[in-house]
Amino acid sequence: MAELEVLATGPQCLVQDLGRPGLAGQGVTASGAVDRVSLGQGNRLVGNEVGAAGLEVLLGGLVVRAPQDLLVAVTGAGCPVTIDGRPVAFGAPVTVRSGSELRLGQAVHGLRSYLTVRGGLEPPGRFGGSLSTDTSSGLGAKPVHSGDRIPIGQAIAAEPRVNLTIPAVSTAGEIVVGVTRGPRADRLTPASRAALTEVPWSVTSDSDRIGMRLSGFRLQLADDSALPSEPIVRGAIQVPPSGEVIVFLADHPTTGGYPVVAVVDDADVDRLAQCPPGTRVRLQGRQGPSWPTTG
């Protein structure tokens, strides 16, 4: 089996597919790519099964050597891509010749780029039907380091039918994400419930694959009495007694004891996960019975 040779990884490089949903009742988080749309785009570009495993690269810096001629694509956070020092297309299928080096430069915008290889990646560590590295529990494939050799699999679906995709959503300016009222929204004071969707938020540096913290307003709880642990879903917005806003991402815990006051629309979680620190975010509440702003 051919093996992709890793020469450098940048700040973080993980093997990710679409995760292991359906195991939360056993305490196992779904994990998977934080930007599932971009991973899926990459797999379509090279003709893989949509859930084939690729590399999730934080802020660029990945360098790999091809063991044979490979069809690859780079999607997600826009970054310069070169083969043996020559610029090649981002968001399009490109061929890396045997022995050549593919390099991902620093992300121009966004956080995470995805490298997909025709056939998908098949390192050891599959658990619950997935290779995804869960940074919280340690399940799945090990984090990727310089010197690793990653086996290339056979997750081929068909000949590629897409030849171009755009980078992940630009995070310049302010992004707007939809939210739905959570099961514990009534734990907030009326003023804080209104502020959640009215004030501008900012992504803090204290964010990772588990959760993203937003600053801009300290929410107040009308009822801060202890809650029993309750299920947590991807995109859940939790408010601890400190009044912080925490948006849970791919490696979130399966349960939590702080109130979940809202949930980010599933499709918008992928966009939010590409936002670097300092990005301005506005939470847009669904109006009507699902999001009363008073009472």
Give me the helices (H) in 141-265, please: 190-196
Q: What angle do CA 151, 22, 209 make, to 5 degrees?
A: 60
The pLDDT assigned to 226 comes to 82
- Cβ proximity of 29 and 136 under 8 Å: yes
151-199 per-position pLDDT tens digit = 999 999 887 777 777 777 665 678 999 999 999 999 999 999 999 999 9
Quote the pLDDT of residue 169.
Answer: 66
Whole-model pTM: value is 0.93
Contact 215, 275 (CB under 8 A): no
211-240 average pLDDT score: 93
Beta strands in 34-173 (DSSP E): 54-58, 62-65, 70-76, 81-83, 86-88, 94-96, 101-104, 112-117, 149-151
List pLDDT tens digits, range 104-136. 999 988 999 999 999 999 999 999 999 999 999
Statement: residue 292 has pLDDT above 90: no
pLDDT grade for 36, boundaries at 50, 70 and 90: very high
